[in-house]
Structure 1
Amino acid sequence: MFKIFVGDKPIILTSKVERETNFKNYLLKTVNLPKVIRKLNASDLQEVRLIHKNEDKLLKKFLKKLPNVVAGGGKVFNQNGDVLFIYRNDKWDLPKGKAERNETIEETAIREVSEETGVSGLQITKPLEVTYHIFKRNGRYKIKVTYWFEMKTDFNGKLYPQENEGITKVAWLNEGEVLKALDNSYANIKQLV
């Protein structure tokens, strides 16, 4: 089973057909994805489930439905155990961004975190899960596939929000502040943190 978010509502990829309650089932093979996304956004449906008999092929077949944008990002800890957050589009988020040509996904994640926050000396400690969300750009839906990494740094300098990317704040948040920030964040980030 996989979850792909449209805003805070999930599209669930599954091989199990269940009786519809607050969700709707569609066959992955024949689904009109843009139509389903619009319906999910404009209704009180809690989720949509896309069904395919072969669980191993669910994600691969789904990712062929829309153009993919590959990104890398980080859940960064400082020496105090605080987590690095950015504030963009009136929501708290973790730093991430689009991969460039001839760049490994690890290089993308480190570069993007550094560009969006001003933090240097980043070291990847382990890979985290991959998240998926659908967004609309220039009238077309796309799937953002984000590879996340846990990182650490000894950096204790000034933080610089990348304003040309719409980032208005960068902050190290302690455990209590993280919980508060998650009240105004994205479903993918809540799942990750």
Structure 2
Amino acid sequence: MYKVFVNDIPIILSTEKKIGKQYTTIPLKQAKFKKLIRKINNGELLYVNLYHKDEERLEKFLRKKLPVVEAGGALVYNAKKEILFIRRNGKWDLPKGKLEKGESPQEGAIRETEEETGVQNLVIRKFIAQTYHVFKRNDKFKLKITYWYEMYTDYTGDLVPETKEGIKKAKWKNFAKSQKALKESYENVKLLFPKEYLTTHPNDRVS
């Protein structure tokens, strides 16, 4: 299954014909992708499932329908188990950016995180996931595929937000502050976090 976000509304691409009563299922070969994007942007469509029995066809469909921009991003922990966030466009986000020519997703994720926040000594722990979202540039729709990695750093120096990229803040946030930040973040970013970050911490619950 793939979730392609248009703003914060996902277009689902799956091998299942039925994923919920509220979803309109459209066979992949009948899908007019740009028209669906416009309907979502206009508030005319909220739940859509594009179906094909062959999972490999799903991503091929995406890459064929829109120009693809590939990016690398990071979910970074420090020694205090805090997470590195950036503030941009009125939202809390994670550092990420477009891959340069010949650059691997891992290299790009580290470079972009360093450039956007000033953090150093990054070590990749594991690959988390790919996320997909549609954006508009020069009046044309494009598909951004971001490769996300969990990273660790022992860096304790100052963070320096890359203001020329519109980043207002770069902050380490503990568990509670991360939960609060995620309420002002993007749906595709929320997919990267362990489930406990999207719920109340067990120690905070009233017994």
TM-score, length-normalised on structure 2? 0.88
Secondary structure of the 1:59 match is helix
Return closer, same or farther for 1:86/1:19 CA change in 2, 3 Å cut-off: closer
Distance 1:74 1:20, change over 3 A: closer
Residue identity over aligned pairs, in percent, reads: 49
* 2:180 is the alignment partner of 1:180: yes
Shift of 1:103: 1.3
Partner residue in 2 for 1:140: 140
**Secondary structure of 2:75's partner?**
strand
Q: Distance in 2 between matches of 1:186 and 1:20?
A: 23
Q: Determine the structure 2 residue equivalent to 1:25.
A: 25
How far does residue 120 in structure 1 lie from its aligned partner after superposition? 0.7
The Cα of 1:31 is off from its aligned counterpart by 1.9
CA separation of 1:57/1:84 partners in 2, compared to 1, >3 Å: closer, same or farther? same
SS in 2 for 1:192: coil
The aligned counterpart of 1:50 is 50
Could you tell me how far apart the structure 2 residues matched to 1:33 and 1:148 are?
Answer: 25
Provide the residue aligned with 2:98 in structure 1. Answer: 98
Which residue of 1 is the match for residue 151 of structure 2? 151
Tell me which residue corresponds to 1:125.
125
Q: What TM-score do you get using the length of structure 1 for normalisation?
A: 0.95
Please identify runs of 4+ aligned residues in structure 1 that moved more than 6 A. none
Please list every run of 5 or more consecutive structure 1 residues that lacks an aligned counterpart in the other structure: none
Instruction: Measure the CA separation in 2 of the matches of 1:109 and 1:18.
Output: 36
Structure 1 window deviating more from structure 2 (130-139 vs 54-63): it is 54-63
Mapped contact 1:15–1:51 kept (Cα < 8 A): yes
- Corresponding residue of 1:5: 5
1:54 Cα deviation from its structure 2 partner: 1.6
Matching residue's letter, 1:142: K
Name structure 2 gaps, 5 residues minimum. 194-207
For residues 91-148 of structure 1, what are the alpha-carbon distances to aligned partners after superposition, in whole Å with 9 as ceiling and x for unaligned?
Answer: 0000000000121111100000000000011111111111111111111111110001
User: Partners of 1:60 and 1:160 in 2: how far apart?
Assistant: 39
Secondary structure in 2 matching 1:156: coil
Task: Give the structure 1 partner of residue 107 of structure 2.
Answer: 107
Cα distance in 2 for residues equivalent to 1:168 and 1:19: 39
Letter in 2 for 1:49: N
C-alpha contact 1:77 1:152 (8 A) present in aligned 2 = yes
Change (3 A) 1:20 1:188: closer
Give distance in 2, aligned partners of 1:18 and 1:153: 43
> Where does 1:161-172 land on structure 2 (aligned, <5 Å)?
161-172=161-172
Q: How many residues align?
A: 193
RMSD: 1.5
